[in-house]
Chain A
Amino acid sequence: MDCREFQDRLARYLEGALDAADFDAMVRHEAGCPACHRLASEGMTDARSAAPNAALTAEILRRTLGADCRQIELSLAAEIDGELPAVARARVAQHLAECVDCRALALALRRLPEAYRALPRLHAGAAFTRAVLARTQPARPGFLSVLRRMWQGSELLWEGAFVCSLLLTPIVGGPTQERAARLRVEWQQARPGLATALFSPERRQALRTDLAAAGNRTEAWILDLSAWAHRQLTTVWNGGASAPDSTRARAGGRNEGGDDELREP
């Protein structure tokens, strides 16, 4: 709108006879053009002096209906919801015709729905769901953590078994020299061939010689290791007396004495 159009419509503007679109256009132009704003203000003064009855009516209405700026502002805010009664609408229109500040506020408030639409709607999508789930639910255990848990479980099992054995040993009794000898005798009586194979140093020696001759060093080494473990066990079972040939057997890799046997008391 230019100044000429503004001046053409000024009379109807001051009377409040314009429709909403024209009224808004007039308010915008008046707001941006100091000359037209001055003209409108003077026009309002002239209209009041020229038509004292209209000014008097407006004044009476203002005082009787209490249409001050504060109340008009609340009405303007309610107008957005479309629940302003007809009487209140008329009061607002009358007030806006003479109050520049309220006209500007009315324009700003009437534009609010449009301003709200300028705000974008964000879309969350699957990425958001994943992000929340990651923060609220524990992660699925990986292969290593499963292995670790199994190991910890079996470790606990072993510890439990050890504790049980410690508790049971005083009750049942550990393997003593006497019991070991008795076991060997019982084995020899029941299965003489197997007992001889298990406890005979000659058999071990023969096997060791065969392996050495064949150059099978790995199996010979395993046999030595087994013999050494057997001697250690025998030593413990015999009450701490070390076997006389164990050192020699370890150093020479040979097993010539009777130290593989469970000793008699």
Chain B
Amino acid sequence: MRSDEELVQACQAGEGPAWEALIKRHQERMLNLAYQFTGDRDEAWDLAQEIFVRLYLRLDQYDPARPFRFWFSSLARHLCIDHYRSRRERQRLATVALEAADQIAAPGPSPEQHLARREERDRILAALDALSAISREAIVLKDLQEMTLEEIAQSLDLPIGTVKSRIFRARIELGRALLRQRRAGAVAGGGGGLP
């Protein structure tokens, strides 16, 4: 199987199948990365396509001395963060409540479990939405994309210590956001949540 770098070189030479192979190899990761930034399936679909279109336009700028995976991740991350910031701004201006995205069928063994899972998903998505762009990026890359500290440091061009610190602070921010939600849920539901 050809490496990413070889596929890129083939793409640069105008080899159509190489481009298709490159898409197939990375589309799952990029779609989920986009979803983890947007929290919405349709937006993620569009954003992931946009990532690949941007990649296609910038293939000539790729430096083979750098691992493709990091270069591509960096490109995708920038687009996701830009999208995330613009979306938050739109939400702020329109004061739109968080949508109850209910498109993803998660076939559970029972309706109760399914409902609980959906609630949990909505909670985590809402908490992720409350994070700053940098914190969300840290959570997505480390906890959701499961990249190593070294990979993140290389992708962000930051020292490992800084990356670690960002991740820890992001988790604390996320934990607090979840606590706030549970408190709000407890108040609305008449108790039973965390303080």
Contact = CB atoms under 8 A, between A and B. Distances in A.
Given A109-B171, A112-B175, A119-B124, A133 B195 contact: no
B194 A31 contact: yes
The interface residues of chain A, by DSSP majority, are classed as helix
Contacts of A129: 20, 23-24, 27
Interface stretch (B43-51, B68-76, B79-87, B88-96): B43-51
Interface residues of A, number: 39
Contacts, number: 119
A128 B26 CA distance: 11
B53 A122 contact: no
Contact of B179 (A28, A104, A131): A104
Interface string A99-129: 0100011011101111110111111100011
Interface stretch (B2-10, B29-37, B153-161): B29-37
Interface stretch (A70-78, A170-178, A228-236, A238-246): A70-78
A15 to B, nearest CB: 21
A120 B53 contact: no
B19 interface: yes
Interface string A61-74: 00000000000011
A137 interface: yes
Contacts of A137: 16, 19
A78 B164 CA distance: 9
Given A77-B172, A120-B121, A129-B24, 16 more contacts: A37-B195, A74-B168, A74-B172, A76-B172, A80-B143, A105-B175, A115-B123, A120-B106, A122-B31, A124-B48, A128-B45, A128-B48, A129-B23, A131-B49, A133-B19, A136-B52
